[in-house]
A and B are shown apart, each in its own frame.
Chain A
């Protein structure tokens, strides 16, 4: 098992290096760079050269690449041009907001997907199964930004029960700790639901398929023969085994959740990584864009590594293989 995990870790690190390499060369090969951006057109040639030297853009590409990778590894992610502070600090500040939103969305996703997936699997081939199938299709066909706007329109204006944007009320500082927590929850409801429902469709289908496969196994027949209630058979014996491949769903959902968080954070003015990346683009904050993209890719690779570890831990067949 240790060899497997070490091999898997090595592969993840290699993939990360590839991703970074790719990102670096792709962005450098594109026609634009921070010095010849539109706003910099009025610089003289001399000023431009000075800036290029300052940012190291005049050195050969492989040289720049090695410098960039090694400073990344040392934790030096450069300085944000728009915030005038280290990129790592800017990223670190917004990370909790995104983690909160993504976890809440994941909660909504899993709860919805479990409910729909199990119902559909138990009534396989029925009208209900078909209806759930169409519902899940509707879920993953929604443009998240539009769904978000419609949610704001309905629940913040037509029927004003929930806040339309941001993570806290303006007077949150004055509230008790419990009040502040409830305030955060109220702000979470709309963005987390929109994001969670967007990804719930595919997950529900996955659970349905997985559960149907498991329910045909011998140990389910044994459980039934023991006289266990159908509910216990499905929810304990069936679902628990159907959830083994579920660790992989988490790994697959992660990039979707991150992409979704970018859009949802912009729509709901949620102060997280996605909105930061978007603002970095509007201000052409080159180091911050690179940092946010690097971080998002690193999180995805880490997530898929963790999913593999988790799978090894829960599935003895993989563990002993």
Chain B
């Protein structure tokens, strides 16, 4: 059993590490620019694995061809089901047997002929960054409110904690939507929304940790030595409370990514053309039947990310709580 438990933790941490690396390295890993639209009429809605010959024209234009043949005068290309002839003088990347460039849509292309793999990779950046940033915001708010409740006296505690109860009574999706409706949607708004609604569990944990620490010997000693309250908080209380709080906050990221993608899917989170997994899936929803891959692959990436964070959570819980 021990070994298996360590397994969950290792799988979760390993997957997250890979995902973060992939997100960081997206500009190098992505085969194309996620916003690049080359010859959209010929490139749109191509299924995964489509390979097209890319003909660079001397006037800076592009032609994507399903098939091409080198002729004595230049090129004959099959594009949009029709044959077209291009004189050699117009083609910039001509080689003896064709052209020197090709486009491979490994995961297919979308309605503008953009590469889905590149967009999914860049979506990882947005999703992970929004998750991490909103976690930091939630952590800050949660620690601030939790500390104030624990150390601010009975009334402050009662008011703050009843406020937390009230906030937790909302089904979060309704609360999010109500708030999103009155703000201009965008990346900053999304981070703010997520951070400002996710701090409640952190504040409860911070409060509980601090209450547990308040009467420990080293804190009592510090107080007896006449240290000012804020110094005690900063030097003695906070550092001890922070470890479990930081763990809890890290585990929040998976959930935050899930919520971000739901908001973006509904059109209230990250706005296109910035690719996020949620809005990619929303785009894919419109063409689910004609182009199944647009919703499928970003969704699989999203599910994998949330699974990774939940594996980590499970593994950590086993490690910290031997009863489980």
Contact = CB atoms under 8 A, between A and B. Distances in A.
Interface of A: 15, 18-19, 21-23, 26-27, 30-33, 125, 130, 133, 137-138, 140-146, 149-150, 152-153, 157, 254-256, 258-260, 262-263, 266-267, 274, 277-278, 280-281, 284, 289-290, 292-293, 296-297, 300-301, 304
A contact face: mostly helix, strand, loop, or mixed: helix
A150 B182 CA distance: 31
Nearest to A258: B171
A81 B261 CA distance: 29
B241 interface: no
A215 B196 CA distance: 42
A292 B311 CA distance: 35
B89 to A, nearest CB: 47
Contact of A297 (B171, B261, B268): B171
A297 B165 CA distance: 12
Given A27-B179, A150-B295, 8 more contacts: A19-B166, A141-B310, A142-B306, A145-B262, A146-B303, A259-B173, A284-B181, A292-B174
B170 A277 contact: no
Given A125-B1, A145-B281, A281-B181, A300 B170 contact: yes
B284 interface: yes
A129 to B, nearest CB: 10
A33 B314 CA distance: 43
Contacts of B296: 150, 153
A140 to B, nearest CB: 7
Nearest to A301: B169
Interface string B154-189: 000000001101110111111101111111100000
Contact of A149 (B172, B184, B285): B285
B112 interface: no
Nearest to A292: B174
Given A15-B169, A140-B310, A281 B285 contact: no
A259 B261 CA distance: 14
Given A157-B289, A296-B170, A277 B177 contact: yes
Contact of B292 (A26, A31, A142, A153): A153
A280 B175 CA distance: 13
Nearest to B268: A281
B314 A137 contact: yes
Contacts of A141: 254, 303, 306-307, 310
A22 B171 contact: no
Interface string B263-303: 00110100000000000010011001100100110010011
B82 interface: no
Most buried by A among B182, B261, B314: B182
Given A18-B162, A266-B266, A278-B177, A150 B299 contact: yes
A15 B166 contact: yes
Nearest to B162: A18
A152 B284 CA distance: 13
Contacts of B310: 137, 140-141
B208 interface: no
A22 B178 contact: no
Contact of B169 (A145, A146, A281, A300): A300
Contact of B174 (A33, A142, A150, A297): A297
A33 B181 CA distance: 10
Given A146-B299, A153-B292, A26 B179 contact: yes
Contacts of B216: none
B258 interface: yes
A217 to B, nearest CB: 16
Given A138-B307, A149-B281, A18 B166 contact: yes
Contacts of B234: none
Contact of B173 (A26, A137, A263): A263
A29 B306 CA distance: 33
A143 to B, nearest CB: 5
B171 A259 contact: yes
B4 A130 contact: yes
6 contacts: A143-B306, A146-B299, A254-B171, A260-B173, A262-B177, A277-B174
B1 A293 contact: no
Most buried by B among A19, A143, A267, A300: A143
Nearest to B281: A146
